[in-house]
């Protein structure tokens, strides 16, 4: 069995380490520049959502995005700048935002998401409680969000996914609190987990089983001989490896560039606000507030709001007016909540690694025989972590994965 070094200690890197360990790989090292689990995998909404079968690049998104650009409190923002990579990304994004693309990629996402949910539930049995709950997801709309819900319901029916239209009364019953909305869709097959506990449980299991998880180690160079990677230069010395896995989330462009591969990926910043203890009367299940693009996740000891997508490059500045917009939007949908003041929330920002077509890349880096990419999970990195880990383990073992991963290839943009 080869020795494997994984770069990136987020949900994707740790899940890959877990499945490699299960496959019997003897030497596994995870190298993380900061603290393990402290990247985008830390403060996200924690939704494990097989319902998210419509990729980010979908018809109408460009039009809506342009409208939102004019509103400083909207859920979407692009920092104006001269950046060829951003233009290239937007060009590919535009080409992918078609009905044909959704028709082709939604079944791919469905298969990956469903497999991942099964594996995530299995992980909780195996590595300990990380707050995984199969409570479903309520997607609610006030007005124009109806069209989006209807499109998703149609796609769900086409793919044979379980989903229920809910009236105002049923909404209140399911949410366990008053919701200011016209109605919604309920996805009973969705789940959620507490993301910081998820990565902590994975890291703790791995360490106990002989996997070396090293924090505060930055990879500075990928050393190659021909098509093969020999090892990695890092701030803690040289690491030899038979196989290297890049699970570096939003920073993957930088790492891929070290071997001359131009990965079209943009960091998309999002924020979360966590209220601990949770406010009185909080919803009993996760909600998605369709028009506001805000996720509301109840944890055992807290309530989290998450939202906003900013294409602003690699930077994690917290913009107060956007944080406030998330909070105000949630208040509009959940008026009966006794909201704690905004200042008591723990505010966090993270960078989603977004490819232009909304699918991750799980493939050998083009032109390299032992460098594997596992990145680009956008808003689905928690949902897809487990299946990605399983795919990584299959590829490293030279096995054909059971799921068709042709759409996840790294050379799909030419």
Helix (H, G, I), strand (E, B) or coil at 34: coil
List, in sequence order, the alpha helices (H) in 209-356: 252-257, 320-333
Q: Does position 266 bind ligand FAD by CB under 6 A?
A: no
**372 token code pair:** 């594997």
Nearer Cβ to ligand FAD (178/230): 230
| Alpha carbon distances (Å) from 48 to 137, 164, 392 | 9, 18, 19
- Residue 247 is a binding residue for ligand FAD (CB under 6 A): yes
Residues 248, 266, 274, 370: which binds ligand FAD (CB under 6 A)? 248
Q: Are 32 and 271 in contact (CB under 8 A)?
A: no
- Indicate the pairing of strand 3-7 with strand 243-246: parallel
Count CB neighbours of 299 within 10 A.
22
Q: Could you give the 3-state DSSP secondary structure of residue 271?
A: strand
**Minimum CB separation from ligand FAD for residue 234, in Å?**
7
Direct distance between the N- and C-terminal alpha carbons of the chain, in angstroms, rounded to an integer: 33
Which of 32-40, 106-114, 153-161, 222-230 is the region at the interface with ligand FAD (rule: CB under 6 A)?
A: 32-40
Nearer to ligand FAD, 98 or 207 (CB): 207
Length, in residues, of the chain? 414
Does residue 249 belong to the site contacting ligand FAD (CB under 6 A)? yes
- Backbone CA torsion sign across 4, 216, 194, 209: positive
Could you say whether residue 47 binds ligand FAD (CB under 6 A)? yes
Contact predicate 348/307, CB 8 Å? no
Q: How far is the CB of 359 from ligand FAD (least distance, A)?
A: 12
**Tokens 């509009």 label which residue?**
332
219 binds ligand FAD (CB under 6 A): yes
- CB of residue 169 to ligand FAD, shortest distance in Å: 27
Q: By C-alpha distance, which of 204, 191, 262 is closest to 49?
A: 191
Question: CA-CA distance, 413 to 324, in Å (whole number)?
Answer: 37
- The answer to whether 20 contacts ligand FAD (rule: CB under 6 A) is no
Please tell me whether residue 51 binds ligand FAD under the rule CB under 6 A: no
Matching residue, tokens 């993301």: 195
Q: Does 74 bind ligand FAD (CB under 6 A)?
A: no
Among 28-36, 175-183, 321-329, 339-347, the segment contacting ligand FAD (CB under 6 A): 28-36
Indicate whether 408 belongs to the interface with ligand FAD (CB under 6 A): no
Q: Which stretch binds ligand FAD (CB under 6 A): 11-19, 132-140, 311-319, 335-343?
A: 11-19
Q: 318 and 349 in contact (C-beta within 8 Å)?
A: yes
Say how many C-beta atoms besides its own lie within 10 A of residue 256's C-beta: 24
By CB under 6 A, residue 213 contacts ligand FAD: no
By CB under 6 A, tell whether 7 contacts ligand FAD: yes
* Contact mark string toward ligand FAD, 296..325, x via CB under 6 A: ----------x-------------------
Considering beta carbons, is residue 51 or 375 the nearer one to ligand FAD? 375
The three-state secondary structure class of 369 is coil
- Site mask, ligand FAD, residues 362-391, x = CB under 6 A? -------------x-xxxxxxx--------
* Residue 280 and residue 340 in contact, taking contact as beta carbons nearer than 8 Å: no
Output the smallest distance, CB 168 to ligand FAD, in A: 25
Number of residues that bind ligand FAD (CB under 6 A): 43
The minimum distance between CB 131 and ligand FAD, in angstroms, equals 13
Q: Does 13 bind ligand FAD (CB under 6 A)?
A: yes
Compare residues 251 and 333 and give the one whose CB is closer to ligand FAD: 251
- What DSSP string describes 302-340? -EEEEEEEEE--S-----HHHHHHHHHHHHHH-TTSBPP
Name the site residues for ligand FAD (rule: CB under 6 A): 7-13, 31-34, 38-41, 44-47, 218-219, 247-251, 255, 270-272, 295, 306, 350, 352-353, 375, 377-383
């Amino acid at each position: 069995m080869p020795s494997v070094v994984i770069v990136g200690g987020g949900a994707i890197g740790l899940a890959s380490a877990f499945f490699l360990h299960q496959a019997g790989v003897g030497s596994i090292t995870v190298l993380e520049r900061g603290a393990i689990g402290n990247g985008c995998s830390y403060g996200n909404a924690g939704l494990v959502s097989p319902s998210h079968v419509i990729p980010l690049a979908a018809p109408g998104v460009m039009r809506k995005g342009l409208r939102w650009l004019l509103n400083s409190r909207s859920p979407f923002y692009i920092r104006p700048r001269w950046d060829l990579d951003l233009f290239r990304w937007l060009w590919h994004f535009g080409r992918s935002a078609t009905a044909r693309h959704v028709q082709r990629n939604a079944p791919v996402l469905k298969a990956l998401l469903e497999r991942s949910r099964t594996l995530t539930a299995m992980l909780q049995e195996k590595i300990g409680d990380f707050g995984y709950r199969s409570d479903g997801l309520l997607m609610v709309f006030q007005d124009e969000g109806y069209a989006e819900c209807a499109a998703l319901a149609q796609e769900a029916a086409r793919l044979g996914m379980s989903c229920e239209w809910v009236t105002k009364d049923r909404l209140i019953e399911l949410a366990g609190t008053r919701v200011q909305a016209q109605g919604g869709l309920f996805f009973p097959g969705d789940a959620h987990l507490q993301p910081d506990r998820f990565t902590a449980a994975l890291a703790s299991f791995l360490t106990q089983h002989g996997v070396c998880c090293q924090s505060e180690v930055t990879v500075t160079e990928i050393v190659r001989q021909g098509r093969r990677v020999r090892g990695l230069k890092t701030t803690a010395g040289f690491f030899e490896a038979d196989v290297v896995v890049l699970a570096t989330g939003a920073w993957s462009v930088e790492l891929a560039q070290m071997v001359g591969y131009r990965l079209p990926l943009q960091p998309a910043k999002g924020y979360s606000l966590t209220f601990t203890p949770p406010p009185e009367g909080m919803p009993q299940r996760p909600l998605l507030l369709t028009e506001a693009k805000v996720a509301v996740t109840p944890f055992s000891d807290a309530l989290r709001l998450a939202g906003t997508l900013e294409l602003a490059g690699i930077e994690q500045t917290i913009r107060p007016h956007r944080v406030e917009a998330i909070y105000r939007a949630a208040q509009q949908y959940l008026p009966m909540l006794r909201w704690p003041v905004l200042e008591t929330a723990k505010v966090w920002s993270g960078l989603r690694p977004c490819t232009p077509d909304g699918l991750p890349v799980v493939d050998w880096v083009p032109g390299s025989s032992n460098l594997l990419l596992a990145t680009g999970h956008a808003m689905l990195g928690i949902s897809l972590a487990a299946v990605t880990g399983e795919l990584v383990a299959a590829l490293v073992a030279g096995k054909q994965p059971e799921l068709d991963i042709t759409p996840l290839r790294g050379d799909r943009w030419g």
